[in-house]
A and B are shown apart, each in its own frame.
Chain A
Amino acid sequence: MTNDQMTYEMGLALQTKGITKHFPGVLADDHVGFDLREGEIHALLGENGAGKTTLMNIIYGLYQADAGEIFLDGKPVNIRTSKDAIAHGIGMVHQHFMLIPVFTVAENIMLGSETVRGMVLDQHSVATRVRELSHQYGLDVDPDAYVRDLPVGIQQRVEIIKALYRQADILILDEPTAVLTPQEVRELFKVIRSLADQGKSIIFITHKLKEVFAVADRITVMRDGRVVGTTTPAETSEPALASMMVGREVLLRVEKGPASPGEEVLHVENLHVFDDRGAETVRGASFFVRVGEVLGIAGVQGNGQTELVEALTGLRQAHSGQVVMLERDVTGKPPRPIIETGMAHIPEDRRRYGLVLPFPVTDNLVLCTYYLPPFARHGIFDHQAIDENGRQLVHEFDVRTPSPYLPASKLSGGNQQKVIVARELSRPIKLLIANQPTRGLDVGSIEYIHKVIVRMRDAGCGVLLVSAELDEIMALSDRIAVVYKGQIMDTLPADQVTKEQLGLLMAGITTQATEV
């Protein structure tokens, strides 16, 4: 090793060389080289499926790389399990929290590194230490609270303290802002800055371009399992990063003409809905959607959107209130009559609600209409008609699959979503309810879905778009309603509203804006 190399490598908290990882059918990481300097905030940017999380899971010991090495402080290390990673001072806050809802904060934090007095768990000393860490890093939590009672933003703090409790020097944060309001995101960034200033080295995974400019010292872009390049906020721009992420010119704005709203297709009046645990998650929501417009419902996940959409689509009984769809009162009706009224629903969890994965694509494409002619008569199927329909739709909606007879499970996330879209849009509809329609998808699929939504709006449909991605809401909506703790805080015209305003509403702070 030359002197120059040594000096360069000494400031590195972490370095990877040639990390390669195969999963059945896909090369997730391809000779990835990445480095992290001490005390820096390094953003790892890439779209869904780029290989960022896989790389971090390898560093954290959850997966084993097929090839490559990891160096900590210049020395090669062998990380075989999370235990090893923790022992080396690496902590990770996952995108989906690794917290046990029925345990307290203290129990969650001490799990795996428990302090005991004799045989008994020593909750008291853990609580004390947690309070110390809270104070030191500005992450306020109550050690004795049960995690299931905590809001998402607080849960994230618990996750961070969990890592700090184990004396992590390197902190990996995987898509931490997905569940936060804009204000909470700013709070988080302040905390991260503070951690970095106190000597921690931080890797920050995200697919949101704008964030990296707010918080990162350096940015590494990954695409299709490879590192495309490393740069700093000063040396780059949003369009440059976007095209690094996708490998081609990316249209960052949706092409959309003005709306021409017609008659009402959906009218919701004072809807109250309870969740499975008996908590009231929709508290008196009222709104309407007209033909030819997109109403976007903005809000952080967990403010009642799931139960609201379930109530509108017949998957959950509302407690009180009224839902009128295309002049028909559909309150409390099961899904089939609502679908027959002319509604299409792109569900938020495509694998759970939108598709029957073991069934062939052709069957999935008639999932809602299988009992109607030409697919079935008198309860007996006409398989030719179903197959014909399947081939037709796969072609029309450009679903990438070797064969329409393959089980839906074999398709990529984007293509699965296309199957759902193809199915929902291939029957005559007047109302499209799209719930988190682009979650987890690659940029190409996201663009496609956005185009489809605008097309449906212009073709005589009303669209209800529910999304936690504020940029998506702002790009696609004609009017925006913000939901917070089950209530519609306000409904504003999209061209007159700013992200700041929306952020405040999403956090429950009302403004004096007039309702449309």
Chain B
Amino acid sequence: MEWRRLGFIALIILILIGVVVMIGGGEIAPSVIVVSMIATTIAVATPLTLGALCGVYCERAGVVNIGIEGMMLASAFFGWFAAIYLNTILGMAPMPSLIMGVVAAILTGGLAGLLHAVLSVTYKVDQIIGGTVINILAIGVTGFLNRQLFFEKGSIFGGQVPHAPGVLPRIRIPLLADIPTVGRIFEQQPIAVSAIVLVLVTHFILFYTRWGLRTRSVGEHPRAADTVGINVARMRYANVIIGGLIAGLGGAYFTLESVPSFEPLMTNGRGFIALAAMIFGNWAPFGAWASALVFGAAQALQINLQFFREQIPSQWAFLQQAYIVGLVPYLLTMLILTGIIGKTTPPAADGVPYEK
């Protein structure tokens, strides 16, 4: 990654952590705050990382996917529904219900990916429109089913939202989690850990394997790939579906790892921020992850500032306003997209349907 972008990322993260330390440092030891910020950052960056990885798979193969938001929303809902259904109606124990919920979320994402692939590759619909369709569909369907299944008197849950089986428990990474103070960073929930593992795996696949070479060829110059016998449509389908599966895992984070409930529109733009992370990360897994961490840090800032509300000095009172601090991720995204901090290059055939 270019120094300018890397430097920007490091700088912003330092600033964000620094602000919280300055404000809360009186009450709680700075080292504890720093560790807490880092741990939170890694956790909340999870859906952004996964969303960005979804984008990487799709766009490296040449398919623009702005439907990541909708994919995650739909997966969040169906994963949560599956977990509650298994737990409440079928009487499954909490942990297996949650795990099956994750599976359901992943499959939902895969299905959404399949839909996007069908629209983009077979029907050659404009990919931005196709992604928007997925977003709208997700909002409509999850809104409808949420009302229908959980709030209607005649529904299976009897009109009351049942008690959710909780969230996925934290995993302690052996050895690393035992380090004093800093160890907290290595106690993360499973989806957060999976996200990091997937970054490594994706990097390897994309740049060291046959699959990765072919995927990239299809995104750069599909006709060239076609002439050496690569099935462009098949590669694109596969990659978009894989992307969907990963977005599904990202959706699972919201309702099965973060908070044990579903709110309509709860993804709140993070699917789009994930896209910005992908762009800023130059369509590469590590770059996307680093960018996601920046946004994660902005969100961690928001969370921690709420926690330290009382400590905020009066001249900084505007920071108390959740709405103002909440602007940071969005403003950051726009700033990054101007390319001032560094221009990145998408795959050459990104967004262009392939016609023989």
Per the CB under 8 Å rule, do A and B touch in the complex?
yes
**Chain A interfacial positions (CB closer than 8 Å to B):** 60, 62-63, 81-83, 86, 92, 94, 97-103, 107-108, 110-114, 116, 119-121, 162
A81 touches B217 (CB 8 A): no
**Which residues 299-356 of B sit at the A interface, judged by CB distance below 8 A?**
348, 356
CB of B226 within 8 A of CB of A111, answer no
- Please name 25 pairs of A and B residues whose Cβ atoms are closer than 8 Å in the assembled complex, sorted by A: A60-B227, A62-B356, A81-B231, A82-B227, A82-B229, A83-B229, A86-B228, A94-B227, A97-B224, A98-B228, A99-B221, A100-B220, A100-B221, A100-B224, A103-B217, A110-B213, A111-B224, A111-B228, A112-B225, A113-B228, A114-B210, A114-B213, A119-B208, A121-B208, A121-B209
Q: How far is the CB of B344 from chain A (nearest CB, A)?
A: 13
**B214 part of interface (Cβ distance < 8 Å):** yes
- Whether A62 lies near B227 (C-beta < 8 A) is yes
Question: In whole Å, how far is A80's beta carbon from the nearest beta carbon of chain B?
Answer: 11
Given A98-B223, A102-B220, A111-B228, 11 other A-B contacts at CB below 8 A? A62-B226, A62-B227, A63-B356, A82-B229, A98-B221, A101-B221, A103-B220, A112-B225, A112-B228, A113-B229, A114-B214
Separation of A63 and B224 alpha carbons in the complex (Å): 15
Interface digits, B150-166 against A, CB 8 Å rule (1 contact, 0 not)?
Answer: 00000000000000000
Q: Is A98 in contact with B227, judged by CB distance below 8 angstroms?
A: yes
Separation of A403 and B216 alpha carbons in the complex (Å) = 44
Tell me the bound Cα distance from A112 to B229 in angstroms. 6
CA distance A102 to B207 in the complex (A): 13
B99 close to chain A: CB less than 8 A: no
Evaluate contact between B210 and A116: CB separation under 8 angstroms. yes
The answer to whether A120 touches B225, judged by C-beta atoms less than 8 angstroms apart, is no
Does residue B230 face the partner (Cβ distance < 8 Å to A)? Answer: yes
The residue in chain B whose Cβ has the minimal distance to the Cβ of A82 is B229
Encoded as 1 (CB less than 8 Å from any A CB) or 0, chain B from 74 to 94 comes to 000000000000000000000
Question: Majority SS of interface residues in chain B?
Answer: helix
Q: Please, which residue of chain B has its CB at the minimum distance from the CB of A98?
A: B224
A111 and B220 within 8 A (CB):
no
- Name B231's closest neighbour in chain A (CB-CB): A81
> Given A119-B209, A120-B208, A121-B213, A82–B220 Cβ distance below 8 Å?
no
Alpha-carbon separation in the docked complex, A213 to B16 (Å): 73
Chain B 54-90, CB within 8 Å of chain A: the 1/0 string? 0000000000000000000000000000000000000
The B183-221 residues at the A interface (CB cut-off 8 A) are: 208-210, 213-214, 216-217, 220-221
Contacts of B216 in A (CB 8 A): 100, 103
Assembly CA distance A25 to B348 (angstroms): 31
> Which chain B positions have C-beta within 8 A of A103?
213, 216-217, 220
Contacts of B210 in A (CB 8 A): 114, 116, 119, 121
Q: Could you say which of B209, B221, B224 has the most chain A C-beta atoms within 10 Å of its C-beta?
A: B224
- Contacts A82-B227, A86-B228 given; does A100 touch B217 at CB 8 Å: yes
Residues of B in contact, count (CB < 8 Å):
20
Q: Smallest CB-CB separation from B229: which chain A residue?
A: A83
- Is the pair A86, B224 in contact by a Cβ cutoff of 8 Å? no
Q: Which residue of B lies closest to A61 (CB)?
A: B229
Q: Could you tell me the distance in whole angstroms from the C-beta of A171 to the nearest C-beta in chain B?
A: 14
B207 (CB) vs chain A CBs: closest residue: A121
Known: A98-B224, A112-B214. A81 touches B229 (CB 8 A): yes
Determine which of A94, A110, A120 lies in contact with B209 in the assembled complex, contact meaning CB atoms within 8 Å: A120
The answer to whether A82 and B224 touch across the interface, beta carbons within 8 angstroms, is: no
Chain B interface residues (CB < 8 Å from chain A): 208-210, 213-214, 216-217, 220-221, 223-231, 348, 356
**A-B pairs with lowest CB-CB distance, top 4:** A112-B228, A83-B229, A98-B224, A114-B210
Q: Closest CB-CB distance, B218 to chain A, in whole Å?
A: 10
A119 to B225 CA separation, bound complex (whole angstroms): 20
A120 CA to B206 CA, complexed, in Å: 11
Residues of A within 8 A of B231 (CB): 81
- Contact A111-B208, Cβ < 8 Å, known A62-B356, A121-B213: no
* Complex contact A107–B224 (CB within 8 A): no
Q: What separation, in Å, do the CA atoms of A116 and B356 have in the docked complex?
A: 29
Chain A residues with CB under 8 A of B229: 81-83, 86, 112-113
Which of chain A's residues have a CB closer than 8 A to the CB of B221? 98-101
A120: chain B residues at CB < 8 Å are: 208-209
A102 to B213, CA, bound (A): 11
The docked-state distance in angstroms from the alpha carbon of A100 to that of B222 is: 9
- The interface residues of chain A lying within 8 Å CB-to-CB of B225 are 111-112
How far is it, in angstroms, between the C-alpha of A162 and the C-alpha of B229 when the chains are bound?
13
User: In the bound complex, what is the Cα–Cα distance between A235 and B231 (angstroms)?
Assistant: 45
CB within 8 A of B220: which of A62, A101, A113, A114? A101
B214 proximity list for chain A (CB < 8 A): 111-112, 114
The CA-CA distance from A92 to B223 in the complex, in Å, is: 13
B224:A99 contact, CB within 8 angstroms: yes
Distance in Å: Cβ of B253 to nearest Cβ of chain A? 29
When chains A and B are docked, how far (Å) is the Cα of A103 from the Cα of B209? 14
Neighbouring B residues of A60 by C-beta, 8 Å: 227
Chain B residues whose CB sits within 8 angstroms of the CB of A81 once the complex forms: 229, 231
Distance of A4 Cα from B217 Cα, bound (Å): 48
CA–CA, A82 to B228, complex, Å? 6
Q: Which residue of B lies closest to A162 (CB)?
A: B228
Determine the distance from Cα of A150 to Cα of B215 in the docked complex, in whole angstroms.
23
Q: How far is the CB of A175 from chain B (nearest CB, A)?
A: 15
A107 touches B226 (CB 8 A): no
Nearest opposing residue in chain A for B349, CB measure: A100
How distant is B236 from chain A, measured CB to nearest CB, in Å?
16
Distance of B203 from chain A, by nearest CB (Å): 13
Instruction: Give min CB distance, B216 to chain A, whole Å.
Output: 8
CA distance A63 to B208 in the complex (A): 32
